[in-house]
Chains A and B, each alone.
Chain A
Amino acid sequence: MTKKTPTSDYTGCIVIDPLTRIEGHLRLEIHVENGYVTEARSCGTLFRGIENILIGRNPEDVQHFTQRTCGVCTYTHALCTTRALEDTMKTVIPPNATYIRNIVLGIQYMHDHLVHFYHLHGLDFIDVSSVIDADIQKTLKLANELSTQPYTEIDFRETKYKIQKLIDSDQLGPFAGAYSTGGHPAYYLSAEANLLLTTHYLKALRLQVKTARAMAIFGAKNPHTQFLIAGGVTCYEALREENLDEFYKLYKETFDFIENILVPDITLIANEYRDWSAFGGSQNFLTFGEFPDTEKVRDLDARWLKPGLILNRDLSIIHPFEPKKIAEHIGHSWYKGEPIQHPINGTTIPEFTKMGDLDRYSWMKSPRYDGLAVETGPLAQMLVSYAQGHPEVTTNLNDLLKKLNMSVDDLFSTIGRTISRVVQCYTVAQQVDVWFQALKNNLASGDLQICKKVDIPDYATGIGYLNAPRGGLSHWMKIEHGVVSNFQLVVPSTWNFGPIDNFGQKGPVENALIGTPVYDPKRPIEILRTVHAFDPCIACSVHVIDSLTNESSTHKIL
């Protein structure tokens, strides 16, 4: 039975600054009327100036700079820059290099989605403090119903013991001061479900160490891999049999966790929180596709997951992705220059006005596609792939929807975003095995090449497209006199979190927040739920300001 969403008759403002459990610093100001969000604006409050630092640099060095845009989406920026540089030379890299890059990116998806689900988003659904009331036998029964994973009493007793010990010590660390403390009607799970999921939270904390290690076998380290070069990869030692075996062991352990724990857990959470299929939806979706083909490595349409655009939730037509339709609006951002810019000629010239400026209020630009605000990320990719009949995505998504007794329409929502992330994680995780076996076969056939020599041009432009775990990322590079003369990054979270554009249209998150219920303005967990479902990764910050009324309630979320 669907839980009744708790509501209130609260009217007023809620200020959230900074919002935690994300990458970066996030501030939101929300207006609520009769218990539902009616207004939201979004603004970044930190400018790092990476784009300006890149001017005049050696093109080959740039991947190391851009990778430092974000330590959570590590590798994705380095890879995107490398693709942009290779695009300037139309380089076709050796097949082994494509396999290895795909495997490493696949592992990054597995790692990123796992950590997001349990450690960044999980506490929006899980009430850790209630686990001390859970019945061990009932938890065991619930666990055995959900998954074939073998559990013993010990697993759950140990979690209870650990949490009890934290509570007794009065040093709760990261669990201190959660919205759920003392009970919150917007938290629906039983004490037993909370105990099960908290156990998985702790298990996942250790498992992700191994997932990152799998990535480091090829990539040198995580975060901030160091093994890419224009023309391929450098990790010869990773190809030794013992290293490949070690990689596979670590990969397999993570895969098993995803299959036997993560997937059952999303069914548990989505089932209990199914009322959240009514909140947080968007209209338009864009994805660049991902995982290049070894032969047609430069062809976006040949990628394993294909690019595409969905308009007005219409899954019957997938529109082609046309790069020339991307533009960035800066009319409401703290930049000067042309108000609408194509990224290849884009500028990033800071012009700060003031905090609280209602007209220009963000360090983020607003990317638009053909003038439209579009959502990017796992929901966009899964919807596009589903509508295109991608075999693995279709099977996995249908399986999960069937278990949940939900339809595809339910995915246009906060819980749909979280479901899609798990499906994407699981589907990509399955495919990593395919690329790994293909790599091994190719090596066994005698093809040992992992990179090739390239000549960096003195004058050229290049674009890299990458579907990061959080969505569509593109790097736009211009080389003149042998050095970078312009470089722009259009990142997933600006697509999703950017401010109002020059036509007055809100960004996807601002839109999605409207209609979100708020039961207790002092503990607005519902807002966090929708914002976290987008998996914000903002190396700058986001700031939503109420523009309609005076603040009536200020509330900080640290």
Chain B
Amino acid sequence: MHTEKDAENIKTENVEAKTKATLTNIEYEILFKEKSQFDLLNFCADVAKNMGLADEEIPSVVKALTNENRPSVIYLHNAECTGCSEALLRSSSPYIDQIIFDAISLDYHETLMAASGDGAESLLEKAVNNPNGFICLVEGSIPVDFHGTIGGHTMYENCARILPKANIVIAVGTCSAYGGIQTARPNPTGSKGISECFSNLKAPVINLAGCPPNPLNLMGVIVALLQNKDIELDTKGRPKMFYGKTVHMLCERLPHFKAKRFALSFDSEEARLGYCLHKLGCKGPKTFNNCPSALFNSVNWPVKAGHPCVGCSEPDFWDTFTPFYGKN
């Protein structure tokens, strides 16, 4: 397994060895290609690991991500906080620039795109009518009653026009999957998740639940799609490879739970010692997600930071899992 540090070292060695000599343009090109190949191998290994694939399968992941024509991706925003996009920006295996410049072609994303003017709208149209099709990522719920608008169209109209044309629709985050915070009691805007709104899509929506979802899981889904693999979904539309177990089952504090070592308050010695947070309200046992093994930002997750899981990958967690604190 390559680490970031190895990659850095190899890059430094390459640079040091080769800058001394005067390189021809072709040699530079080979150097950059090598480096980009190395980066690619590196991140494919991480993606494969998170997907639970054996090392022998890494080459097929690489192959899926090195198509001459990168698959077109359209990213739509509805009623949301942009947190899911931000999570994608924080991806480190692969880095966001590797995703959007090497693996996929991000043809529409309002937070990132330079595009403007009618030209941009025609870019969207071009992507929607791409003969090779496109993958549609959707962030945010659809406010059916209050009709938030973009470019003069309601969010519902936009989705109704674009989603049925997509080869596959991925709901990025709990809002687009199930409605999320907008649908929390009393659901003032009449918001819904995608599946609830549309039944005429080419394939069942893949729900990457989570607030935000882990970008590593998103990458895994994209790779599996590019490999033409079947993605097995659970009853809530979530890929089983990432949402097959509860947070509790994967939790590093599970031994404390089994030994009945609980923290009863946040300012206690037990909390300091990293005991189980079940009695402080942890929703890990009811929540299907891989946070403890995938980690956020490659480094941490809520229970490791001493805070109970709030169950953000479960539908309606804002209502059914609150109050978040106190006895379960």
Contact = CB atoms under 8 A, between A and B. Distances in A.
Interface string A62-81: 00110011111010000000
A528 B186 contact: no
Contacts of A238: 305
A20 B297 contact: no
Contact of A72 (B29, B86, B116): B86
Interface stretch (A41-49, A281-289, A309-317, A485-493): A41-49
Interface string B145-174: 010111110010000000000000000000
A298 interface: no
A226 B90 contact: no
Question: Which of A171, A227, A229, A352 neighbours the largest number of chain B CB atoms within 10 Å of its CB?
Answer: A171
B265 interface: yes
B259 interface: no
A557 interface: yes
A157 interface: yes
B107 A173 contact: yes
Interface string A230-247: 011111111000000010
B92 to A, nearest CB: 5
A220 B304 contact: yes
A133 interface: no
B148 A25 contact: yes
Interface string B114-127: 11111111011000
A21 B300 contact: no
A101 to B, nearest CB: 13
Nearest to A17: B151
B144 interface: no
B182 interface: yes
Nearest to A224: B83
A49 B182 contact: yes
Contacts of A528: 116
Question: Which of A218, A226, A540 neighbours the largest number of chain B CB atoms within 10 Å of its CB?
Answer: A226
Contacts of B35: 158
Interface residues of A, number: 101
Interface residues of B, number: 91
A178 B119 CA distance: 9
A135 interface: no
A500 B66 CA distance: 52
Contacts of B305: 218-220, 226-227, 234-235, 237-238
Interface stretch (A200-208, A268-276, A375-383, A511-519): A200-208
Contacts of B48: none
B181 A23 contact: no
B114 A52 contact: no
Interface stretch (A30-38, A418-426, A448-456): A448-456
Nearest to A71: B83
A237 B106 contact: no
Interface stretch (B53-61, B219-227, B237-245, B320-328): B320-328
B234 interface: no
B83 A68 contact: yes
Nearest to B22: A153
A131 interface: no
B112 interface: yes
B85 interface: yes
B197 interface: no
A523 B116 CA distance: 8
A235 B266 CA distance: 10
A484 to B, nearest CB: 12
A208 to B, nearest CB: 7
A206 B97 contact: yes
Contacts of A49: 146, 182, 188-189
B64 interface: no
A342 interface: no
Interface stretch (A161-169, A325-333, A397-405): A161-169
B92 A53 contact: no
A233 B118 CA distance: 48
A205 B91 CA distance: 10
A46 B266 contact: no
Contacts of A246: 299
B298 interface: yes
Contacts of A153: 19
B86 A158 contact: no
A434 interface: no
A548 interface: no
Contact of A539 (B81, B91, B265): B81
B262 to A, nearest CB: 15
Contacts of A154: 15, 18-19, 28, 31
A137 interface: no
Question: Which of A229, A234, A541, A557 neighbours the largest number of chain B CB atoms within 10 Å of its CB?
Answer: A234
Contacts of B86: 71-72, 74, 222-223
B115 A205 contact: no
A70 B81 CA distance: 4
A177 B117 contact: yes
B109 interface: yes
B306 A236 contact: yes
Given A20-B111, A45-B148, A202-B97, A235 B212 contact: no
A47 B307 contact: no
B257 interface: no
Contacts of B51: none
Nearest to B124: A558
Contact of B302 (A21, A48, A69, A220): A220
Interface stretch (A209-217, A300-308, A407-415): A209-217
A541 B274 CA distance: 43
Given A206-B97, A221-B297, A20 B271 contact: no
B304 A53 contact: no
Nearest to A152: B19
B297 A222 contact: yes
Contacts of A215: 297
A231 B151 contact: no
Question: Which of A56, A175, A558 neighbours the largest number of chain B CB atoms within 10 Å of its CB?
Answer: A558
B155 to A, nearest CB: 8
B272 interface: yes
Interface string B230-250: 000000000000000000000
Contacts of B278: none
Contacts of A23: 81-82, 111
A58 interface: yes
Contacts of A128: 114
A517 B111 CA distance: 25
A18 interface: yes
Nearest to A22: B111
18 contacts: A17-B150, A46-B148, A61-B323, A71-B81, A71-B82, A74-B86, A154-B31, A166-B101, A174-B100, A177-B117, A179-B117, A206-B96, A219-B300, A221-B302, A222-B90, A232-B266, A523-B117, A528-B116
Given A47-B189, A173-B107, 8 more contacts: A20-B112, A115-B89, A154-B19, A166-B101, A216-B300, A221-B297, A236-B272, A237-B306
Which 5 pairs from chain A and chain B are nearest by CB? A71-B83, A49-B188, A46-B148, A234-B306, A177-B115
Interface of B: 15, 18-19, 28-29, 31-32, 35, 69-70, 72, 77, 79-87, 89-92, 95-97, 100-101, 105-121, 123-124, 143, 146, 148-152, 155, 180-182, 184-189, 211-212, 265-267, 271-272, 274, 296-302, 304-307, 310, 318, 322-325
